[in-house]
Chains A and B, each alone.
Chain A
Amino acid sequence: MGAKAAWVPGSCVIAGIGETAFTRDSGRSELSLATQAITSAVRDAGLNLQDVDGFISYRFDKTAWPGFLALNLGIQNITYWGESNGGGNATCATVAQAVAAINAGLARTIVVYRSMNGYSGRRLGQALNPEVWVGADENNEEYAMPFGLLAPVNVYALQAAEYMRRYGLTSEQLGWIAVVTRKRANENPAALMHDRPMSIDDHQASRMISTPLRMLDCCLETDNASAIVVTTAERARDLPSRPAVILGAAMGSASSSHGPISYAPLEPNMTDTASDWLAPRLYAQAGVKASDIDVAQIYDSFTIAVVAQLEAYGFCGKGEGGSFVEGGKRIDLGGDIPINTFGGQLSAGYVNGFSGVTEGVRQMRGTSTAQLPGAELCLVTGGMSTTTSAMILARP
């Protein structure tokens, strides 16, 4: 067996982004939403649809299948397509796969996208599956839902409960993540909660969903499609758009297992996450360290997920996430590590993490509604139960 081929930081870039509005009633199919987001992203990159020769997406539920998309966009001669399961855990895995496919010569310009009617269709937050008969698929819901584990919030609540027992995390500390994220949404006209300010008292008064997580610890559910165009840095030099350079993009699983989300509570220690194992490898791949990162888009399905990842990605020590976010200053603009500058999934909208990818590109282009002056490196992460993925973007 030979050594792994070398990862080349910056060999590929994100040349364009496109999104539909965050709504709760799109009135359209996932396929229709995807075609709009993709068309926008390709135009934003300064390319034509016929320049696209690959598609990659990921899913947990219904989505727009890559092959059918090519048909609906009138694109001939697709040379690469791929699809990951695992929901938000695969957010940045798709980008890693696009870079791998391009560098392997399987395609030249790959569209990566996620499309979901997350509110008007199947609401992942309400119950993993609304049917009577569950399971017998890769999500293993038959060992969760009949037993009363009904939705992702129950899994993250168990993680938060373990954090509280082990490290003294408090509900109010979690609340500061929601409050700071809402401030970013208040600055972003595209955010669903743009006009709705939130205080720490609002968080503490919000109703309990699954102890210790309250309503305002949970992300939104929205209809949306988001897309990016990945191509080589060399190709991008001829394009009019400003690209974001992909320094690192990695996938990883936890030490003990990499099961479905319903398996996560059965792990020996829920405060150990796949992100703990992925982060050092991602930084080594990109040739940077945590203290180099200027801004981060951290997968925030629930506030507790942000605590675990701030620790895993080295912005604070293990068990210190609660005190790190307390008061909000260190994750606010001007703080140690400003997070989720578009308003996050908590307050802007939810498309299984992909809005963190498009916001990461905006920060590197200098076009965010909460632009960090001089930002040169952005961390973007995917969901973080038993498997995860993340990437590091750079200003060109």
Chain B
Amino acid sequence: MTVTMTRPLPRRTHDSVVFWDACRDHRLVLQRCISCDEFRYFPMPGCPNCGSSEFNHEEVEQRGSLVNFTVVHAKLNPAFDVPYVLGVVELECGARMVSRIIDCDPHTVEVSTMVEVVWEDEPSANTSIPAFRQRIDVGNRSSQT
């Protein structure tokens, strides 16, 4: 069995092509349900909240807060240096994403930290992957309400 030395890269689907194309341009574009107004992530044809299949794509703010995280110590893939922080971020639009929190000390990271997207270009996949870092414009957590 061959184990890759490069970062795993996303295959596009009919459901996700808009998302990945926007990521390539460093824009975060999520699906928003026409029926119930909820944003959702990841891209999928139906709304988990109400079941409607009618939706728009909308660009959202690239900011949120850290609601959960794990510090990954095991080198499960050579492309990711360890330790790294794998976080769950609640975006300002309400949808949640999982990604790495970079440029931070894994020993002092805390939930509620305000974070923003930092784009990691992956030219071979013709896209960019959103990671997050602590927002520098709002200082530490709890300074933002």
Contacts and interface: CB of A to CB of B under 8 A. Distances in A.
Interface of A: 121-122, 126-127, 129-136, 140-151, 153-154, 157-158, 161-162, 165, 207-213, 256-257, 259, 262-263, 265-266, 270
B88 A148 contact: no
A387 B47 CA distance: 18
B97 to A, nearest CB: 8
26 contacts: A122-B1, A126-B3, A131-B8, A135-B11, A140-B42, A146-B7, A146-B9, A146-B122, A147-B97, A147-B98, A147-B100, A147-B131, A148-B84, A148-B98, A148-B100, A149-B98, A154-B72, A157-B70, A161-B68, A207-B73, A208-B73, A210-B70, A256-B48, A263-B42, A265-B98, A270-B68
Contacts of B48: 256-257, 259
A334 B6 CA distance: 51
Given A143-B42, A147-B129, A150-B77, 5 more contacts: A130-B3, A146-B8, A149-B98, A154-B72, A259-B48
A257 B38 CA distance: 15
A162 B68 contact: yes
B41 to A, nearest CB: 7
Contacts of A131: 4, 8
Contacts of A211: 70-73
B119 interface: no
Interface of B: 1-4, 6-13, 16, 41-42, 48, 68-74, 76-77, 80, 84, 86, 88, 96-100, 111, 122, 125, 129-131
A210 B68 contact: no
B11 A158 contact: no
B41 A133 contact: no
A145 B86 CA distance: 11
Contact of B10 (A121, A142, A209, A259): A142
A172 to B, nearest CB: 18
Given A134-B9, A147-B98, A158 B16 contact: no
A133 B11 contact: yes
Contacts of A262: 98
B70 A158 contact: yes
Nearest to A259: B48
B124 to A, nearest CB: 9
Contacts of B98: 143-144, 147-149, 262, 265-266
Name, among A165, A211, A262, the residue most crowded by chain B CB atoms within 10 Å (CB to CB). A211
B13 A135 contact: yes
B1 A265 contact: no
A161 B12 CA distance: 31
Nearest to B70: A157
